[in-house]
Structure 1
Amino acid sequence: MPGEFLEQRIVGGVSYGSSYTDAYAVTITTTAGGAEYRKLVHPYPVRKFRLVFREALASMWADVVNLYHRCYGRYAGFRVKAFDDFTTAPDGRSAPTRTDQALTYVSSGVYQLVKTYGLDAAGIAIGRPSRVIYKPVSGTVLIAKNGALLVSGVTVDTTTGRVTISPAPAYPADTITGGCEFDIPVRFDVDLQVDQSAPAIRMLEGVELVELLQP
């Protein structure tokens, strides 16, 4: 079952040297003859961050350390902004638009924000993975019905990424699209290490976070 979640974003002086990966859960069995049998466990990328913070001693506690303790280390989740991928635009950084992504139908009038990856101009693919957007940024969500921006009757839950439209569109006749800025739900994946690099400066190296697929 999902654990606790704090609806706040980690902040602080993220330094060069930070990195992230997108991993897919694939099991690979190799036969004696060298043939491989590969199974895709789930079609979603799981993002992992390795952050480096250079913090003044006075701000380190407020920015990172207190959050770590509020989360009880690996126990609770929180938000992080992925600076290369924080909008629904194809490049991950441009301003979101109302037609960026097709929303997933959940029930009458209720849709889920998502972002699809792997666009290829030639259309070459075995499929396109998507990330469920659970944590849209408040005030950034744009929703359209059949391409027309909806300016009323739209409610966005910024803790689940679900959008409720009233009156409910006709499904599947009406096409619902949307765009937004979003955070990635994560948790700490290692114990926090603080290096005393100078009297008033601290380095927090190897702050590892892992995405929560079901926060």
Structure 2
Amino acid sequence: MAFHEVRFPTNLSFGAIGGPERRTEIVTLASGFEERNTPWAHARRHYDAGMGLRSLDDLAALIAFFEARAGQLHGFRWKDWADYKSGLPSAPVAFDDQEIAKGDGQTVAFQIVKNYVSGAFSYARPIVKIVKDTVRAGAGGVEMFPGAHFQVDHLTGTITFKDPPPVGAEITAGFEFDVPVRFDMDRIAVSVASFQSGEVPQIPVVEVRL
């Protein structure tokens, strides 16, 4: 499967319904206690693109996008309006939004992550599809600047510093990002009459691992 570095129309994804899915295996023992395990290290997100359609023009744009991706064959970028930036939705991106690593005095390349924290527990989500020209970064509490101090691979989510951050320095980043997805079906079935009367087609979209 190829991945097309093109974003699904944001005016259509704005009305979509979806979010993360986890896979948990639960075994109930004879004693009534449970053993719970997960084969997934990371969540997988699902969306319904049909919920964002509001006009026949929107439907035409969706069909064109679907055909250009050859259905399920090629992946693409998706803006999850509920979770698309490093900080709070109401706050601008800041260089110290997320701690992504600590310097060891030698390493210069780091994977950008977003940390989801609740109480004493947290989950670090690797971010691979960065929105171009949105990354701010810092080391040891000091902001660094793109070009002069670091470069970003927007296709893999890797940030590379010109010089290795010092030992123990907190490496931070702020950014906007997309979710890598594909269509989860090879057929769009829609009636213009039913669409105009308010019936919206289901267009499932699912996150892909890269």
When the two structures are superposed, what TM-score results if normalisation uses the length of structure 2? 0.84
How far apart are 1:110 and its partner, in Å? 0.3
The one-letter code sitting in structure 2 at the alignment partner of 1:99 is: D
Specify whether residues 206 and 58 from structure 1 end up closer, same or farther in structure 2 by C-alpha distance, changes over 3 A only. Answer: closer
Q: Show the counterpart of 1:157.
A: 153
Q: Show the counterpart of 1:87.
A: 85
Residues 136-155 of structure 1 correspond to what in structure 2 (within 5 A)?
Answer: 136-151=130-145, 152-155=148-151
Q: 2:74 aligns with which of 70, 73, 76?
A: 76
Instruction: Tell me the distance in 1 between the aligned counterparts of 2:197 and 2:13.
Output: 13
How far apart are 1:36 and its partner, in Å? 1.5
Q: Give the RMSD, CA atoms, in angstroms.
A: 2.8
Q: Show the counterpart of 1:205.
A: 201
Q: Show the counterpart of 2:39.
A: 41
Q: Show the counterpart of 2:53.
A: 54
5+ residue gaps, structure 1: none
When the two structures are superposed, what TM-score results if normalisation uses the length of structure 1? 0.82
Instruction: Tell me the distance in 1 between the aligned counterparts of 2:82 and 2:170.
Output: 28
Deviations 1:99-157 (A, max 9, x none): 0111247982101111111x33xx3x4x3122211111111100101111112221111
Q: Secondary structure at the match of 1:128?
A: strand
Q: Which structure dedicates a bigger proportion of its chain to strand?
A: 1
Deviations 1:151-202 (A, max 9, x none): 22211111111011102223x4222100101111111112333331379899
Specify whether residues 17 and 103 from structure 1 end up closer, same or farther in structure 2 by C-alpha distance, changes over 3 A only. Answer: closer
The one-letter code sitting in structure 1 at the alignment partner of 2:91 is: S
Q: Show the counterpart of 1:134.
A: 128
The one-letter code sitting in structure 2 at the alignment partner of 1:43 is: A
Q: Secondary structure at the match of 1:129?
A: strand
Specify whether residues 136 and 15 from structure 1 end up closer, same or farther in structure 2 by C-alpha distance, changes over 3 A only. Answer: closer
How far apart are 1:59 and its partner, in Å? 5.1
Specify whether residues 105 and 78 from structure 1 end up closer, same or farther in structure 2 by C-alpha distance, changes over 3 A only. Answer: farther
Q: Show the counterpart of 1:115.
A: 114
The one-letter code sitting in structure 1 at the alignment partner of 2:161 is: I
Contact 1:111 1:163 in 2 (8 A): yes
Specify whether residues 202 and 77 from structure 1 end up closer, same or farther in structure 2 by C-alpha distance, changes over 3 A only. Answer: farther
Instruction: Tell me the distance in 2 between the aligned counterparts of 1:32 and 1:88.
Output: 44
Per mean C-alpha deviation after superposition, the further-off stretch among 157-166 and 130-139 is 130-139
